[in-house]
């Protein structure tokens, strides 16, 4: 019998494809040759690990094993080394499962489960079965987590959360399983990729944002039950064949302590007292969409604002057709996630021309400090919904008191809508400025510039700090796309304005 550990590796050797964030010494052969089992090594390994450690001195998270064979876009749990993994033998499916559910067809798999489409012989419908996966290295907690996922999801009864039909945990060696609604459709990832190389048209963006708003509804509801999803990404959103939207895969959800969630015991999702609790230091989620508190392994700091970050990362993907972090290695992506090293959406995908207002919303949602994010999902949703209602294609700009926003006599091809603050409209007469009127929030100036490039007829000066929305012809075109009757009205108005302006110009020229 060979001398090997329970996970199949030789004693003292690191498991294949795992890196430990702990400042390891290279083996002698690696130190002398500069090569190792994963290619050229590793003069800078110690420096890389040291650079990842938080400056606060809390290094508990740095003792985490990173499974480098896990795809960067996959949900994963990177945990402290030393957890005992036992290689289990494949177990036969439960007789109860085989008796009721026929014609199985595999449709997906994860780290500890497989999903099959089956026919429920009792009800006469197709459902999905999620089956705990045996036949690989497992920790004692893995089965607990699987069962906990079913219990959490089953208690979250919401139109945009996939319904759970049944959970079966049997004694003996049969693996547990649960059944749920079979969602036939596409993931949000697939919807985004359809037009990834094209500019974002208003129609496409409206379609994607409708899905996003329903995701916000589901996540906000889960928060009222004391549940944080912790793995929000486009791949975990299913859009059914008739427009149904479901938030899937609650397998790494966190139940907030009562003191953190502020919810009554009756409202909170209930799990057994013995349910698995994540150790501080565990890195849980999907690396390319991860909030910094997740990347740092600060599991006790994960709360509703972690999901706000995840939703912001999802919105980033909608705008750019790429994940939040792009890196070549796990270490590189982990560093980016810890530091929130993000390129703004309009810079990351200039060919998509994402609306300025949505770019602003994304950057606030993915702030490094939770306190700088939206305080809850409802606040984030409200701003995205306001964009959908109109005006989001117009970029915002802020001017200090005394700034000249529009200069009399200067050419102009845009208009302005005052969001906040006050302005004076001033016109020069006999070399002296004359106050024409004062403007406040909601009022418009410079509107002639949208239809005609004639010189400005007056100056507009900020009398306090002023925020305006700038209306250009292109932004107005995008804003009106899909609103055919309103667009026709504006085009007719513009044609008449231009015709009248041309006639006035002709008359002035004749009078000399």
Which of 217, 231, 278, 307 is catalytic? The answer is: 231
Residue 222, token pair as written in the block: 């889960």
Residue 360, token pair as written in the block: 């602003």
Work out whether strand 125-132 and strand 86-87 pair parallel, antiparallel, or are unpaired: unpaired
Nearest to 496 by CA among 446, 451, 444, 445: 451
Nearest to 394 by CA among 360, 422, 348: 360
Cα–Cα distances in Å, from 31 out to 22, 24, 36, 172, 459?
17, 12, 9, 49, 71
Rounded distance between C-alpha atoms, residue 191 and residue 382, angstroms? 23
Backbone φ and ψ of 132, nearest 5°: -60, 135
User: With 0-12 CB in 10 A as exposed, 13-18 as middle and 19+ as buried, what is 173?
Assistant: exposed
Rounded distance between C-alpha atoms, residue 273 and residue 269, angstroms? 12
Could you write out the DSSP letters of every residue in 325-367? ---SSHHHHHHHHHHT----HHHH-GGG---HHHHHHHHHHT-
102, containing H or E segment: strand 101-109
Rounded distance between C-alpha atoms, residue 127 and residue 102, angstroms? 10
Rounded distance between C-alpha atoms, residue 296 and residue 427, angstroms? 58
User: With 0-12 CB in 10 A as exposed, 13-18 as middle and 19+ as buried, what is 202?
Assistant: middle
> Residue 231 catalytic?
yes
User: Between vectors from CA 320 to CA 391 and to CA 479, what angle results, nearest 5°?
Assistant: 20
Beta-bridged to residue 114, according to DSSP, are 109, 131
Most distant CA pair in the chain, distance: 109
- 3-state percent helix, strand, coil for the chain, nearest multiple of 5: 35, 20, 40
Q: Is 418 helix (H, G, I), strand (E, B) or coil?
A: strand
Q: Is 29 helix (H, G, I), strand (E, B) or coil?
A: helix
* Whether residue 42 has a cis bond before it, omega within 30° of 0: yes
Could you write out the DSSP letters of every residue in 222-240? HHHTTEE-----GGGEEEE
Rounded distance between C-alpha atoms, residue 486 and residue 508, angstroms? 33
Rounded distance between C-alpha atoms, residue 139 and residue 54, angstroms? 28
Nearest to 154 by CA among 134, 173, 187, 181: 181
Residues marked as catalytic: 231
């Amino acid at each position: 019998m060979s001398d090997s550990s329970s996970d199949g590796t030789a004693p003292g050797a690191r498991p294949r494809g795992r890196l430990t964030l702990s400042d390891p010494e290279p083996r002698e052969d690696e130190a002398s040759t500069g090569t190792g089992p994963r290619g050229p090594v590793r003069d800078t390994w110690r420096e890389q690990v040291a650079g990842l450690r938080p400056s606060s001195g809390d290094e508990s998270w740095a003792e985490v094993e990173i499974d480098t064979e896990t795809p960067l876009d996959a949900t994963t749990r990177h945990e402290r080394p030393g957890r005992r993994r036992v290689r289990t033998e494949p177990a036969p499916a439960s007789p109860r499962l085989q008796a009721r559910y026929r014609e199985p067809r595999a449709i997906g798999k994860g780290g500890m489960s497989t999903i099959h489409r089956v026919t429920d012989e009792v009800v006469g419908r197709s459902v999905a079965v999620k089956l705990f996966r045996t036949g690989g290295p497992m920790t004692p907690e893995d089965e607990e987590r699987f069962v906990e996922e079913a219990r959490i999801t089953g208690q979250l009864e919401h139109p945009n959360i996939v319904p759970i039909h049944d959970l079966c945990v049997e004694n003996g060696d049969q693996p547990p399983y649960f059944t749920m609604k079979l969602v036939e459709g596409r993931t949000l990832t697939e919807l985004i990729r359809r037009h990834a190389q094209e500019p974002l048209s208003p129609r496409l963006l409206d379609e994607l944002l409708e899905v996003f708003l329903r995701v916000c509804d589901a996540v906000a509801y889960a928060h009222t039950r004391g549940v944080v999803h912790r793995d929000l990404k486009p791949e975990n959103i299913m859009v059914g064949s008739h427009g149904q939207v479901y938030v899937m895969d609650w397998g790494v959800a966190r139940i907030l302590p009562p003191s953190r969630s502020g919810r009554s015991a009756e409202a909170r999702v209930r799990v057994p007292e013995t349910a698995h609790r994540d150790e501080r230091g565990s890195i849980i989620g999907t690396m390319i969409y991860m909030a910094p508190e997740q990347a740092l392994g600060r599991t006790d700091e994960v709360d509703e604002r972690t999901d706000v970050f995840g939703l912001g990362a999802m919105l980033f993907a909608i705008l750019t057709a790429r994940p939040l972090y792009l890196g070549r290695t796990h270490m590189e992506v982990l560093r980016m996630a810890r530091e929130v090293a993000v390129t703004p959406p309009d810079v990351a995908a200039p060919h998509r021309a994402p609306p300025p207002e949505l770019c602003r919303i994304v950057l606030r949602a993915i702030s490094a400090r939770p306190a700088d994010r939206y305080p809850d999902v409802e606040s984030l949703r409200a701003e995205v919904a306001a964009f959908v209602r109109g005006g989001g294609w117009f970029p915002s700009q802020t001017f200090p008191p005394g700034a000249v926003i529009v200069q009399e006599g200067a050419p102009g091809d845009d208009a302005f809508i005052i969001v906040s603050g006050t302005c004076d409209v001033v016109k020069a007469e006999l070399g002296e400025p004359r106050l024409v009127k004062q403007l406040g929030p909601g009022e418009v100036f410079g509107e002639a510039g949208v239809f005609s490039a004639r010189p400005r007829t007056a100056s507009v000066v900020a009398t306090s700090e002023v925020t305006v929305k700038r209306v250009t012809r292109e932004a107005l075109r995008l804003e009106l796309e899909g609103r055919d009757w309103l667009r026709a009205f504006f085009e007719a108005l513009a044609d008449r304005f231009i015709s009248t302006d041309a006639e006035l110009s002709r008359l002035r020229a004749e009078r000399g």
